[in-house]
Amino acid sequence: MPELLLELLSEEIPARMQARAADDLKRLVGDGLKGAGLSFTNAQTYVTPRRLTLVVHGLPAKQADISEERRGPRADAPEQAKQGFMKSLPKDTKVTERETEKGTFLFAQVEQAGGKTRLILPDILQAAMQALPWPKSMRWGRGKARWVRPLHSILAVYDQEGLELEFAGIEAGVTTRGHAFMAPAGFSVSDFADYEKAMKAAKVVIDPDARKQTIAVDAARMCKGAGVTLKDDPALLDEVAGLVEWPIVLMGGIDAEFMDVPPEVLITSMRKHQKYFACLDAKGNLAAKFVVVANRETADGGRQVIAGNERVLRARLADAKFFWDQDRKTTLASKAPQLKDRVFHAKLGTLDEKVDRMQALAVALCDYVPGADRDKVRSAARLAKADLVSEMVGEFPELQ
- Note whether 156 and 79 are same-domain residues: no
- Note whether 90 and 104 are same-domain residues: yes
Give the C-alpha separation, 171 to 278, whole Å. Answer: 45
Residue 170 phi/psi, 5° resolution?
-110, 125
Q: Which residues contact 22 (CB under 8 A, 6 or more apart)?
A: 45, 46, 47, 52
User: Is residue 210 scored above 90 in pLDDT?
Assistant: yes
- Note whether 50 and 143 are same-domain residues: yes
Domain end residue (candidates: 75, 97, 112): 112
Mind listing the pLDDT tens digit for each residue in 152-163?
Answer: 999 999 999 999
Q: What is the mean pLDDT of residues 11-28?
A: 97
> DSSP secondary structure string, 321-333?
HHHHHHHTTS-HH
Position 398 confidence tier, pLDDT thresholds 50, 70, 90: confident
Percent over 70 (pLDDT), the chain:
100
Q: What is the mean pLDDT of the chain?
A: 93
Mind listing the pLDDT tens digit for each residue in 29-73?
Answer: 999 999 999 999 999 999 999 999 999 999 999 988 877 788 888
Record the pTM.
Answer: 0.83
pLDDT of 394: 86
Give the C-alpha separation, 113 to 93, whole Å. Answer: 13
| C-alpha R_g of the chain | 32
Quote the domain boundaries for residue 273.
208-327
Q: Which of 302, 204, 198 is nearest to 249 (CA)?
A: 302
Q: Are 173 and 239 in contact (CB under 8 A)?
A: no
pLDDT of 79: 87
Q: How many CB atoms lie within 10 A of CB 303?
A: 11
Q: What is the mean pLDDT of residues 126-140?
A: 96
- Note whether 277 and 360 are same-domain residues: no
Give the C-alpha separation, 69 to 90, whole Å. Answer: 12
Position 86 confidence tier, pLDDT thresholds 50, 70, 90: confident
Give the C-alpha separation, 387 to 286, whole Å. Answer: 23
User: Is residue 112 scored above 80 in pLDDT?
Assistant: no
Give the C-alpha separation, 318 to 395, whole Å. Answer: 12
Domain end residue (candidates: 177, 201, 225): 201
Give the C-alpha separation, 132 to 126, whole Å. Answer: 10
SS3 395: helix
User: Is residue 383 scored above 80 in pLDDT?
Assistant: yes
- Note whether 316 and 192 are same-domain residues: no
Domain end residue (candidates: 327, 351, 378): 327
Percent over 90 (pLDDT), the chain:
73
- Note whether 255 and 148 are same-domain residues: no
Burial of 140 (0-12, 13-18, 19+ CB in 10 A): middle
- Note whether 55 and 170 are same-domain residues: yes
CATH number of the domain where residue 173 is located:
3.30.70
Q: Which of 287, 293, 288, 285 is nearest to 309 (CA)?
A: 293
Q: Which of 180, 201, 154 is nearest to 244 (CA)?
A: 180
3-state helix, strand, coil in the chain (%, to 5): 45, 25, 35
pLDDT of 322: 92
- Note whether 247 and 360 are same-domain residues: no
- Note whether 185 and 51 are same-domain residues: yes
User: Is residue 110 scored above 90 in pLDDT?
Assistant: no
Mind listing the pLDDT tens digit for each residue in 218-257?
Answer: 999 999 999 999 999 999 999 999 999 999 999 999 999 9
User: Is residue 142 scored above 80 in pLDDT?
Assistant: yes
pLDDT of 206: 97
pLDDT of 237: 97
pLDDT of 106: 87
- Note whether 239 and 297 are same-domain residues: yes
Residue 376 phi/psi, 5° resolution?
-70, -40
pLDDT of 141: 87
Q: What is the mean pLDDT of residues 269-294?
A: 95
Angle (CA) 191-197-198 rounded to 5° is 85
Position 178 confidence tier, pLDDT thresholds 50, 70, 90: very high
- Note whether 41 and 124 are same-domain residues: yes
- Note whether 313 and 364 are same-domain residues: no
Number of independent structural domains in the chain:
4
